[in-house]
Amino acid sequence: MKKEIRFLSLSVASGLLVATFHVSTVSSQEAAKAEVKAEVATPKIPLADPAEVHKPSLIPDRVVLTWKSDPKTTQSATWRTSTAVKEAVGQIQLADHGPLKEQNAVTVKATTEYLKSNLSEAHYHSVEFTDLKPDTKYVYRVGDGANWSEWFQFTTAPSKAEPFSFVYFGDAQNDVRSQWSRVIRQSYAEAPNTKFMIHAGDLINVAESDAEWGDWFKAGSFLHATINCVPVPGNHEQATLEDKTKRLSHHWRPQFTLPEMGPPGLEETCFTFEYLNTRFICLNSNRMLDEQAAWLNKVLADNKSQWVVCTFHHPVYSTGKDRDNAELRNKWKPIFDAYRVDLVLTGHDHTYGRTGLNTPVIGYEVNTSTGANVADSGTGTVYVVSVSGPKMYPLKPSDLMRRVAEDTQLYQVITVDGDTLRFEARTAMGTLYDAFQLKKRPGEVNELIEFDPELETRRRPEVVKDAVTVGATK
């Protein structure tokens, strides 16, 4: 059997490039050999070397804002360089309408830590700017005195009551640079004046992967350096040792400058801060649950803030199939109940679920698909599970959840305005998916008003029949 093979040849005639097709008839066997030879000869595009892509240099990268102390009068910044930078500094000055005058900047010496990752060696530098004025816009940069980052802007927390918003993300975890990036950027488009971003664990997938941490910083880009980051560790920020025990990623503490006020052994993973009239409590749900329960009880007993929001990784009430955190629920929920914590924000289950005010009483040890018949109406905490990255799990039907979703990337914008808290969950496209409002009632459980975003509950076809319709009800 014969087959035509067409060859293209190029030649130059009178200064012009001439293309000529040549047709040759060969056997099928010879044609196959020619095609294989042509395929082998085709150059392949090489993959970028992660060590080169994420290589530290003299120029600061991975710049991130966090709070170690009072958000009204302090600001912390952390960044990375090559080990050639032995000493680093941060510079800060009041923001102005015109060109910055560098001679006006105050220079603060940074603390430097060495970190050897799976890809490279690097220095992480951190600085805390103190004695700042509340509700004031500042500019800052970081570097070594010769090599600088760009100037970034931030605004300190106000000292007087006013409305404010923050954003909350469930797990980013997988394909962070390629797919989670659009979620954090869409959240900024929706709420450009957000004061901080809460990350409820599993920021990345492999605890000690420098490339994944690099992708997380690239996905957020300048947002990390201008909007405060409030992270808590998930199970994927835990590295497994040879003896099968777990420890916090070596990246965590060098790259985030956070409060060291929790139980010993949980530094920079268990802490609290106050922003205007709201107390935020960040917990490490991976370990030392008893020690944190005692600490949590004391924090709440001393609390004078009007609102209380808690965040940690593992849900009190799971939305995933065969996933339950009974030990955590038994140890922490009675404390949430006793002090009427308003809102609990979690991740881990790679689905979306949000309760109303009534949740099963402790002692009924089953997952959320049952137990609603013994709900306690006297506590008033709303529990949320959410996911922002592309990794998804099947949803387990539950009567407890007032609103659920699966196969949906989400971010949440939460606004506190005096005695009112408004919660909005939006998809990666910015579409409103879930919304409710809490209203403070002195001496009583909060009033809950739910808003129907006019969307069908996002569940797989086999469980749509179990979906709960949410209306505008009290």
Tens of pLDDT along 86-124?
Answer: 999 999 999 999 899 999 999 999 999 999 999 999 999
At 298, is the secondary structure helix, strand, or coil?
helix
- Whether the CB-CB separation of 312 and 235 falls below 8 Å is answered with no
Q: The dihedral of CA 167, 260, 276, 359: what is its sign?
A: positive
Q: What size, in residues, is the chain? A: 474
Enumerate domains of the chain plus CATH numbers.
Answer: 2-45 (no CATH), 56-155 (2.60.40.380), 164-466 (3.60.21.10)
Higher pLDDT, 464 or 239: 239
Q: Please classify residue 95 by burial: count the beta carbons closer than 10 Å to its beta carbon, then call 0-12 exposed, 13-18 middle and 19+ buried.
A: middle
Q: How far is CA 313 from the centre of its chain?
A: 11
The overall average pLDDT reported for the chain is: 87
Phi, psi (rounded to 5 degrees) for 210: -65, -35
Nearest-Å Rg of the Cα atoms of the chain is 27
Q: First and final CA of the chain: distance in angstroms? A: 79
Count CA within 13 A, CB hemisphere, residue 39. 6
- Whether the CB-CB separation of 93 and 100 falls below 8 Å is answered with yes
- Average pLDDT of 361-382? 53
Residue 366: predicted pLDDT: 41
- Residue indicated by tokens 């488009």: 189
- Whether the CB-CB separation of 259 and 269 falls below 8 Å is answered with no
- Whether the CB-CB separation of 127 and 112 falls below 8 Å is answered with no
Residue 73: predicted pLDDT: 98
pLDDT tens for 259-306 read 999 999 999 999 999 999 999 999 999 999 999 999 999 999 999 999
pLDDT tens for 4-58 read 444 444 444 444 444 444 445 555 566 555 555 555 566 789 999 999 999 999 9
Q: Categorize the per-residue pLDDT at 321 as very low, low, confident or very high, splitting at 50, 70 and 90.
A: confident
Q: What are 424's strand-pairing partners?
A: 413, 435
Q: Which helix (H) or strand (E) holds 229?
A: strand 228-232
Give the pair of three-digit tokens for residue 128.
């805390």
Rounded to whole angstroms, how far apart are CA atoms 340 and 300? 10
Higher pLDDT, 395 or 28: 395
Instruction: Quote the DSSP letter at residue 176.
Output: I
Q: What is the pTM of this model?
A: 0.85
Residue 454: predicted pLDDT: 65
Q: How far is CA 452 from the centre of its chain?
A: 26
Phi, psi (rounded to 5 degrees) for 372: -65, -20
- Residue indicated by tokens 């150059």: 43
